[in-house]
Amino acid sequence: MPEPPILNVDDYAPGRYARTRILRQIGLPVLEASTGSQALETVERDRPIIVLLDVNLPDMSGIEVCRRIRENPRTGPITILHISASNTQAKHQVLGLDSGADGYLVEPIDPAVLIATVNAYLRARRAEDALLRSTEELRWFSYRVAHDLREPLRTISIYAELLGQETAQANPKAAGYLNFITGASARMSSFIQSLLDYSQAAEVRSQFVAFDCEAMMTRVIANLDAAIREPGAGIAWDPLPEISADLRLEYVFQNLIANAIKYHREGVKPVIHISARRSADEWTFSVCDNGIGIEPAYLDRVFEMFRRLHGQSVPGSGIGLALSRKIVEAHGGRIWIESEPNAGSTFFFTIPIRIVT
């Protein structure tokens, strides 16, 4: 497979020619553009691995070109290096890097420095691509294993249940063993479904739509009806907004509320409160409970895959919070917890503000 090209963007023809010649001499494929619009067209069409982007262009600034490249999901991962002979002060470099560039080079650039810099970014991109491929292969493997286990497990569960019904009266002891099998099958099925959900969360790109949090809470309460009724849990929430989010965000709310019910204190009815607070660029949601809480030493570990602080004493797969974190991070947000043992926990997560479509 041929090496993706490097795009050299500069309206000053002699400078553009010199950089292109230097890079081609070491065997790198190079494309050229002299304006911002040409650069954007070439990036979209040819997907270069690196863009050497002049800050001063005749039709738009390199800062704006960089911003547009980053906003496009198809071109966002491309490495961008700003280059400038006039905007050389620290404030200019800070602006360029804050606009989304990965580096900022000031002219005149020594050819050896240019080659070393480009090679360094190429090594980083190749290593990142190799890691992504490895992660994708591992994700696909786990998905296939979980998917292929589901059908034979379903068969075991069905026939164990049927056999248990037939032997219930003739051999109660055997029927008890079969009940253990069906129970274990149900737990394994739940675990496999959680694993599939996690794999799919890693695979599917977020699709942001109008997301009515009030309507979502109605659905979540209905879904958790049995779990709420058993301990007599009280759930209340402040007015919640309509936001732009992926529909999978509903899982995050449901998982956090279900956990708040599951980890309640013995003899104390669960009380859960959900709220939302808006800042300039994001919503911060919180799910607060009066449950058993978490020791400070474990606060950073609750979002780890398969991490179960209470072992087998409380049912669960150990995937729920890891999946919740992945969904929140796919939105560009973050999730964390504050907790006090024997007093309760509050989970917080943020969702960036986007235009509701």
The pLDDT score that the predictor gives to residue 311 is 47
pLDDT digits (tens, 9 = 90+) for 107-117: 888 999 999 99
pLDDT-based confidence at residue 204 (cuts at 50, 70, 90): very low
Task: Report pLDDT for 347.
Answer: 95
Q: Which residue has the higher pLDDT, 205 or 303?
A: 303
Per-residue pLDDT of 150-167, as tens digits, reads 777 778 888 788 887 877
pTM above 0.75, yes or no: no
* DSSP letters for 243-297: EEE-TTHHHHHHHHHHHHHHTPPTTS--EEEEEEEE-SSEEEEEEEE-S----GG
pLDDT tens digits for 211-226? 999 999 999 999 999 8
H helices present in the chain, as ranges: 13-25, 36-46, 62-71, 90-98, 111-167, 172-203, 213-223, 225-229, 249-262, 320-330
Give the Cα separation of 96 and 89 in Å (integer): 11
| 6-109 and 209-352, same CATH topology | no
Task: Identify the residue with better confidence: 189 or 76.
Answer: 76
Average pLDDT over residues 248-260: 92
Quote the percentage of the chain above a pLDDT of 70: 86
**pLDDT band at 69; cut points 50, 70, 90:** very high
pLDDT tens digits for range 1-13:
567 899 999 999 9
In this prediction, residue 37 carries a pLDDT of 94
For residues 301-306, average pLDDT? 74
Q: Which is more confidently placed, 135 or 7?
A: 7
User: How far apart are the C-alpha atoms of 50 and 77, rounded to whole Å?
Assistant: 10
The residue among 333, 332, 337 whose CA lies nearest residue 321 is 337
Position 125 pLDDT exceeds 90? no
**Strand order through the sheet with 50-54:** 30-33, 6-9, 50-54, 79-84, 103-106
Judge whether residue 356 has pLDDT over 80: no
- Is pLDDT at 103 greater than 50 in this prediction? yes
Residue 107: predicted pLDDT = 87
- 129 close to 121: Cβ distance less than 8 angstroms: no
**Options 2.40.50.140, 3.30.565.10, 1.10.357.10, 3.40.630.30; which CATH number does 209-352 get?**
3.30.565.10
Spans of all domains in the chain: 6-109, 132-203, 209-352
Mean pLDDT of the chain: 84
> What CATH fold (topology level) applies to the domain 6-109?
Rossmann fold (3.40.50)
Q: What is the pLDDT of residue 216?
A: 94
pLDDT in tens, 16-44: 999 999 999 999 999 999 999 999 999 99
Secondary structure class of 99 (helix, strand, coil):
coil
Query: Could you say which DSSP state residue 32 is in?
Result: E
Nearest CA to 337 among 317, 357, 307?
Answer: 307
